[in-house]
Amino acid sequence: MDLKNRDGLKHVVKLIESDGYDFKLVKNWTPRLECGLQEYDKVFVPVYKISHWCLAVINNKDKKFQYFDSLGGSDSQVMKVLAKYIVDEVAAKKNQRIDVSDWEREFVKNIPKQENSYDCGVFIMKYADFYSRKSDHLFGQKDMPYFRRRMALEILRLNASE
């Protein structure tokens, strides 16, 4: 999706709609990937749940689905949909069948927790950042103002370089 075309944002489709999962609605998410999703070690999927963001991970390398929630919650439905999505994606894009029925479903608990009602988005971005670098989650609620400023600077630098 062209992020400069703000009108396109209203057409973004969710992986899980109110009536469930439908691959036809998300099959165009990965048109430009030169390899299939199964060839990446980890695929990070932001999950929005009624005023709260969580992070799901398709961890191909360790054969598991992971769920990071800064409020400590869990969602089995997200895990089921991620499993169905990766199977459908590989079948559609690579014409291959993969079996994820024995993959572990992990609700990651030993992670920093948010202490307010509005920093969930920053938390999931930092989970993805630290986890992708194989770093320990050495941050907490007290670090959120710094991370917000740093993200704003990075966005401004990207806009300035265009």
Q: What fold characterizes domain 6-160? A: Adenoviral Proteinase; Chain (3.40.395)
Which residues are part of the catalytic machinery?
Answer: 52, 69, 120
Model confidence at 13, in pLDDT bands (50, 70, 90)? Answer: low
Q: What is the maximum alpha-carbon separation in the chain?
A: 47
**pLDDT of 79 strictly over 60:** yes
Express each pLDDT in 110-155 by its tens digit.
999 999 999 999 999 999 999 999 988 889 999 999 999 999 999 9
Tell me the two tokens of residue 67: 């769920």
The Cα–Cα gap between 159 and 162 comes to 6
Express each pLDDT in 15-74 by its tens digit.
777 667 888 888 888 877 767 788 899 999 999 888 899 999 999 999 999 999 999 999
In the chain, where the domains are located: 6-160
More confident residue, 13 or 159: 159
pLDDT at 18 (0 to 100): 64
pLDDT at 19 (0 to 100): 65
Tell me the two tokens of residue 125: 């971005």
pLDDT at 55 (0 to 100): 95
pLDDT at 3 (0 to 100): 40
Partners of 101 in the beta sheet?
A: none
CA nearest to 127, candidates 56, 31, 24: 56
